[in-house]
């Protein structure tokens, strides 16, 4: 059946990849925005998006205890109650928030791990966490001690596999010496390449896959000016990100125009290809051990994102996209989120 020329490229069912011993869909779903950080979301549409993702073959769903002080985990519970057998559920711990869900510190003390696991299990309404991440390595606690306590939760049957988020190459190797590490989660996109300078190589050395968060540059790489303008109006933390401000933003949007042009080239002889699909296809092309988790709260964007699995970039296109370099830092200078 010929493609509808007005419908962006979609894929009926996703291919799979592996993270350690876990088999997951080649694209996952980041759930943070359903209750945290990007302003308000429609709960009904977010829930429908979760089900649509599972229907399309998405199996990796990602959350964390810090997102809304547990509210994001609680939001996922009704969905998990219906579709637990179809889901590889990933969550994280390590941040300490204030009452407004603003991070104010890190706490990776071993004695804290068991309680965090139990709290997440209760909020999620499940018996075991498939992939449990240390959200950031606490500089006051040796990573081996934190991961050792996490490994005890694997032995107790409450966790299946362990991961690290935004960890250094040194910490990845130290952690893997204590227990197998299935995944490294780090920001990675055409515009954010920090992980290539050591951590990605270390992850591959120890047999861990890479799970890129914000593979669409927190929405900057979609080439949708209306969405960018909307993101910067209201209660959205992107107001504080340097590459989303002033001249930096204008320079980055000019770079995004090239991504949009490549999308137009790819879609010239069939179903349209979106800039988001090009950006995700570039991430997927960086290795079979890479499983990006673009976040969205809407079914329309979900369908567009998943269509990236059907987009084949040429070698020259990959090279051109690789050469693009964002202007401005990905986080403010002083923040707990920086490695």
Indicate if the pLDDT at residue 223 is higher than 70: no
pLDDT at res. 235: 62
Report which of residues 100 and 308 the model is more confident about. Answer: 308
Question: Which range is most confident: 6-10, 182-186, 216-220, 229-233?
Answer: 182-186
Sign of the four-CA dihedral 308, 309, 310, 316: positive
Task: Tell how strand 88-93 and strand 129-134 pair up.
Answer: parallel
**pLDDT digits 0-9 by tens, 157-181:** 999 999 999 999 999 999 999 999 9
- pLDDT band for position 4 (cuts 50, 70, 90): very low
- Among residues 38, 67, 133, 188, which one is catalytic? 67
What does the pLDDT look like over 307-327, one tens digit per residue? 999 999 999 999 999 999 887
- Report in angstroms the alpha-carbon separations of 25 from 28, 59, 328: 6, 5, 32
Q: For 26, list phi and psi in degrees, rounded to 5.
A: -65, -25
Quote the radius of gyration of the chain (alpha carbons, Å).
19
Predicted TM-score of the model (pTM) = 0.89
- The DSSP line for 115-166 is HHHHHHHHHHT-S-EEEEEESS--TTS-HHHHHHHHHHHHHTTSEEEEEEES
Mark whether 67 is an active-site residue: yes
**Helical segments of the chain, H only:** 43-55, 71-83, 110-124, 143-155, 169-176, 199-205, 225-231, 246-266, 275-284, 299-306, 315-322
Retrieve residue 285's tokens.
């092309």
Summary mean pLDDT of the chain: 90
Question: Strand pairing partners for 247?
Answer: none
Instruction: Tell me which residue of 217, 223, 237, 228 sits closest to 325, measured CA to CA.
Output: 217
Give yes or no for residue 125 having a pLDDT over 50.
yes
What is the set of domains in the chain, with CATH numbers? Answer: 17-217+286-311 (3.20.20.100)
Quote the pLDDT of residue 146.
98
């Amino acid at each position: 059946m010929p493609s509808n020329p007005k419908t962006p490229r979609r894929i009926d069912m996703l291919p799979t990849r592996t993270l350690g011993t876990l088999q997951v869909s080649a694209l996952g779903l980041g759930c943070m925005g359903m209750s945290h950080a990007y302003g308000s979301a429609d709960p009904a549409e977010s829930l429908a998006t979760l089900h649509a993702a599972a229907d399309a073959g998405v199996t990796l769903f990602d959350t964390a205890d810090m997102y809304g002080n547990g509210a994001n985990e609680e939001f996922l519970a009704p969905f998990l109650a219906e579709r637990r057998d179809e889901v590889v559920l990933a969550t994280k711990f390590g941040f300490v928030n204030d009452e407004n869900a603003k991070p104010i510190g890190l706490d990776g003390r071993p004695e804290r791990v068991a309680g965090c696991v139990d709290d997440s299990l209760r909020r999620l309404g499940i018996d075991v966490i498939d992939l449990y991440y240390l959200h950031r390595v606490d500089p006051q606690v040796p990573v081996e001690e934190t991961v050792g306590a996490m490994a005890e939760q694997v032995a107790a049957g409450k966790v299946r596999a362990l991961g690290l988020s935004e960890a250094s190459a040194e910490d990845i190797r130290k952690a893997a010496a204590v227990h197998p590490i299935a995944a490294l989660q780090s920001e990675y996109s055409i515009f954010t390449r920090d992980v290539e300078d050591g951590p990605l190589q270390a992850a591959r050395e120890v047999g861990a896959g890479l799970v890129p968060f914000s593979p669409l540059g927190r929405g900057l790489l979609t080439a949708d000016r209306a969405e960018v303008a909307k993101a910067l109006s209201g209660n959205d933390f992107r107001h504080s990100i340097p590459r989303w401000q002033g001249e930096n933003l204008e320079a980055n949007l000019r770079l995004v125009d090239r991504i949009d042009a490549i999308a137009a080239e790819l879609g010239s002889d069939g179903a349209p290809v979106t800039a988001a699909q090009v950006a995700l296809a570039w991430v997927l092309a960086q290795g079979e051990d890479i499983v990006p988790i673009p976040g969205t709260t809407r079914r329309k964007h979900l369908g567009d994102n998943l269509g990236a699995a059907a987009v084949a970039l040429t070698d020259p296109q990959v090279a051109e996209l690789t050469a693009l370099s964002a202007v401005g830092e990905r986080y403010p200078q002083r923040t707990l989120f920086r490695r």
